Amino acid sequence: MKVYTKTGDKGTTLLIGGTRVPKHHIKIEAYGTVDELNTYIGLLRDKISGNYSEELIQIQNRLFTLGSFLALDIDKKTLSNGQPRLNITPISIKDISFLEQKIDQMEENLPPMTHFVLPGGNEQVSVCHICRTVCRRAERKVTYLNEIESVSENLIKYLNRLSDYLFVLARKLSKDLKIKETPWIPK
């Protein structure tokens, strides 16, 4: 199978289910931003110190799942025999709870927040903040898509919680690496 198919040469692409849409379609924007986030989390995993690799791989796997459900043609969720077109486990409350548990574990050893924190101080921390901001953009794209067609509430919750996880992970990395957080002090 060749990587190039030439079917997108006129600016369209296929959704899962076979419907052709413009490459700038909000569905493509939504799952493309999730894919971008997944790539940045891969970069974070390459740069990060500590024992976070396995949970980041788990998150990356769930992001592929999330993107697959976003790429699914809303009108063709099932095959002609009534079976689901995607034979993968959707994002669930269990996935959201996993992120919440990890957040709670990391926050146990962090000082309380008294100010907003300026991103930076260390390359690992900065990449984590990039992941967080791309996650927030993905969340915005998915919530916009949800205004046009129904998106599972769990997909939106997962992205929201993931951005929280990434923020707390950045703070935890700062603490572990003994990097002083720079508070934002409005002037």
Reading the block at residue 113, the tokens are 């927040």
pLDDT digits (tens, 9 = 90+) for 3-33: 888 878 889 998 888 889 999 999 999 999 9
Please list the residues that pair with 117 across neighbouring strands: 183
In the chain, what percentage of residues exceed pLDDT 90? 74
Q: Which of 132, 103, 134, 104 shows the shortest CA–CA distance to 119?
A: 132
So what's the architecture of 12-78+85-181 in CATH? Up-down Bundle (1.20)
Question: What is the pLDDT, as a whole number, of residue 113?
Answer: 85
- Give the start-to-end residue ranges of the domains of the chain: 12-78+85-181
Helix, strand counts (H, E) of the chain: 5, 4
Question: What is the pLDDT, as a whole number, of residue 84?
Answer: 63
In this predicted structure, the answer to whether residue 83 has a pLDDT above a threshold of 70 is no
Question: What is the pLDDT, as a whole number, of residue 115?
Answer: 87
In the chain, what percentage of residues exceed pLDDT 70? 96
37 or 1: which carries more pLDDT confidence?
A: 37
Question: What is the pLDDT, as a whole number, of residue 103?
Answer: 98
Reading the block at residue 132, the tokens are 């967080």
